[in-house]
């Protein structure tokens, strides 16, 4: 057993095993421990991203952070947090929305926000899918 690989510290090890386990469960390094246990948190020193190992997961899952998770487009129970922009027709076509977000069958529920970059238009849309097609609501600017 090696604590540096994520193995639990057991009674008989030098020091308090409760304290050692608290320290072990909040790991920082360039690579995750090879025997990471459920409940452990790993902080990657290469990019400062944070990861967690849960009971049901086969590996590490990234813990979303405001600035360090900018390269992710997370999905929570079919709610996709995405802000996209593209040149769109007025009104936007299904093909244009699909080119931005992908196939509608991939996302059921709210997909995200879509900003029209067409010169002079600048419209904003809330886009969602029922798994078959896309729908949108045009946002009206507050006065």
Asked if residue 69 belongs to a domain, the reply is no
pLDDT of res. 2: 66
Asked if residue 109 belongs to a domain, the reply is yes
pLDDT of res. 1: 52
Q: Which stretches within the chain are classed as H helix?
A: 17-24, 94-101
Give yes or no: residues 132 and 80 share one domain.
Answer: yes
Q: Contact at 8 Å (CB) between 108 and 129? A: yes
Q: Tell me which of 34-48, 105-119, 122-136 is least confident.
A: 105-119
The token duo for 8 is 């639990």
Q: Is the pTM of this model over 0.85?
A: no
**Pairing between β-strand 108-116 and β-strand 79-80 as defined by DSSP bridges:** unpaired
Q: How confident is the model at residue 131 (pLDDT cuts 50, 70, 90)?
A: confident
Q: How confident is the model at residue 3 (pLDDT cuts 50, 70, 90)?
A: low
Give yes or no: residues 94 and 124 share one domain.
Answer: yes
Overall size of the chain counted in residues: 143
Quick one: what percent of the chain has pLDDT higher than 70?
A: 88
Residue 22 reports pLDDT greater than 90: no
Give yes or no: residues 49 and 82 share one domain.
Answer: no
Is the torsion defined by CA of 111, 60, 65, 25 positive or negative? positive
Give yes or no: residues 13 and 33 share one domain.
Answer: yes
Mapped onto helix, strand or coil, the DSSP state of residue 83 is strand
Distance CA 59, CA 15 (A): 29
Average pLDDT, the chain: 82
Distance CA 135, CA 121 (A): 19
The token duo for 100 is 């931005």
Asked if residue 50 belongs to a domain, the reply is yes
Give yes or no: residues 133 and 81 share one domain.
Answer: yes
Domain that holds residue 8: 3-63
Give yes or no: residues 59 and 87 share one domain.
Answer: no
Residue 96 reports pLDDT greater than 90: yes
Q: Contact at 8 Å (CB) between 83 and 112? A: yes
Asked if residue 49 belongs to a domain, the reply is yes
Mean pLDDT across the stretch 92-107?
A: 86
Query: Total structural domains in the chain?
Result: 2
Give yes or no: residues 79 and 135 share one domain.
Answer: yes
| 3-state percent breakdown (helix, strand, coil) of the chain, nearest 5 | 15, 35, 50
pLDDT digits (tens, 9 = 90+) for 28-39: 888 888 888 888
């Amino acid at each position: 057993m090696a604590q540096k690989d994520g193995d639990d510290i057991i009674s008989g090890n030098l020091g308090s095993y409760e304290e050692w386990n608290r320290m072990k469960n909040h790991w920082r390094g360039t690579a995750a421990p090879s025997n990471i246990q459920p409940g452990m948190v790993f902080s990657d020193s290469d990019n400062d991203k944070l990861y967690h190992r849960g009971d049901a997961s086969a590996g590490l899952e990234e813990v979303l952070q405001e600035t360090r998770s900018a390269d992710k487009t997370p999905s929570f129970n079919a709610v996709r947090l995405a802000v996209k922009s593209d040149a769109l027709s007025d009104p936007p076509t299904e093909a244009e929305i699909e080119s931005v977000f992908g196939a509608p069958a991939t996302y059921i529920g709210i997909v995200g926000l879509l900003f029209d970059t067409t010169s002079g238009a600048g419209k904003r849309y809330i886009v969602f899918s029922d798994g078959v097609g896309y729908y949108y609501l045009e946002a009206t600017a507050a006065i």
